[in-house]
Amino acid sequence: MSGAGLKRNLKRIMAELPNLGKHCNFASCKQLDFLPFTCDGCTRTFCSEHRVKDIHGCTAENVVAASGEYKGEKGYSCSVADCKNRELTPIWCMKCQLSFCLSHRHAQDHQCSKLGTNKTDTNISKTAEHVNKILETKKAAPKKSKPLNAKASKTAARVALMKMKMTAVGDGSCPEEERLYLKVLPPQGSNTQSQTMFFSKVWSVGRVIDNISDRLKLTNNNNVENAKKLRLFSTLTGDLYPTDCDVGSLLQGELLYSGSSVILEYVDNDCTCISDLTLYSAS
């Protein structure tokens, strides 16, 4: 069929079906389109060439841009009175049921009013109380020669510390004088290699655990009530480092040294000690 024949047929179809198709509303186009597109912003009709909002200069898009008002999620404020931080998703404290920012998500960091009221907290608090008793004893009692294993551990930590400082990873904003260097032995079955890392001495043990799990990409369900919890343990005694205890107290009581190795493991809520330390290797 010739071009003239196609035009005649097109005119005949348009005459028979006058409501078929719509003209493009773009000023310099106006062509009839049998499959028009309706803009979900300005609700005008356009052809396939001008259907994109940026191309046809959508008036609805221009109004939003001119107002400068953000219409999306406003975020969640931290429940700590003087904190101005906001998070896109709520971070709930399982104890007091309030939402906090990343810096205050641990019970100790926001001085949780419910701290120590449930069974799990009671177990951890007993360990923290034990740590405090050791610190008080060290202050009151005269200095005595330390057991050989503790002395050897302290010496080994000093030697290891020099190597750790060359390879350790951590939060670069942490001042050099505040850094605690540890070799972290990952949970059994995690297929994750041990990692030398550094943390701030003013952090709580819970915050240290969160930092480790983020860097090693480990599942952390410490805020889930009935899930296995990530906990930190001593490689020397297998004892739990309580999450609500600050790292500085452990260093002061010589229960932990910069350059030490620690065990990160998934355990039940009431676990306070790892009995079989042979499962973990500091190498």
CATH number belonging to the domain at 119-279, selected among 3.10.20.90, 3.40.50.10470, 3.40.220.10, 1.10.357.10: 3.10.20.90
| Residue 246 DSSP one-character state | B
**What pLDDT is stored for residue 46 in this prediction?**
85
Q: Which residues are within 8 A (CB) of 30 and not within 5 positions of it... i.e. 6 or more apart? A: 23, 24
**What pLDDT is stored for residue 230 in this prediction?**
94
Q: Which residues are within 8 A (CB) of 134 and not within 5 positions of it... i.e. 6 or more apart? A: 253, 255
Distance CA 74, CA 46 (A): 34
| Whether 212 contacts 186, CB under 8 Å | no
**What pLDDT is stored for residue 181 in this prediction?**
92
β pairing state of 260-267 and 179-185: parallel
Tens digit of each residue's pLDDT (9 = 90 or more) over 23-77: 888 888 888 777 788 888 888 888 888 888 877 778 775 555 455 554 555 678 8
CATH 4.10.1110.10 domain locations along the chain: 3-67, 73-115
**What pLDDT is stored for residue 148 in this prediction?**
43
**What pLDDT is stored for residue 212 in this prediction?**
93
Low-confidence ranges of the chain (pLDDT < 70): 1-20, 61-74, 116-153, 282-283
- Produce one character per residue of 157-182: b if its CB has 16 or more CB atoms within 10 Å, e if not: beebbeebeeebebeeebeeeebbbb
Residue (of 107, 125, 108) closest to 116 by Cα position: 125
Distance CA 245, CA 248 (A): 9
What are the backbone dihedrals phi and psi of residue 76, each rounded to the nearest 5 degrees, phi first? -120, 130
CATH 3.10.20.90 domain locations along the chain: 119-279
Residue (of 169, 247, 252) closest to 202 by Cα position: 247
Burial group, residue 55, by CB count within 10 angstroms (0-12, 13-18, 19+): exposed
Q: Is 65 helix (H, G, I), strand (E, B) or coil?
A: helix
At the topology level, CATH places domain 3-67 in Zf-an1 domain (4.10.1110)
| Whether 243 contacts 231, CB under 8 Å | yes
Q: What is the pTM of this model?
A: 0.51
CATH number belonging to the domain at 73-115, selected among 3.30.420.40, 4.10.1110.10, 1.10.1660.10, 3.40.50.720: 4.10.1110.10
Residue (of 247, 272, 273, 271) closest to 260 by Cα position: 247
Tens digit of each residue's pLDDT (9 = 90 or more) over 122-144: 555 555 666 666 666 655 555 44
Average predicted confidence (pLDDT) for the chain:
78
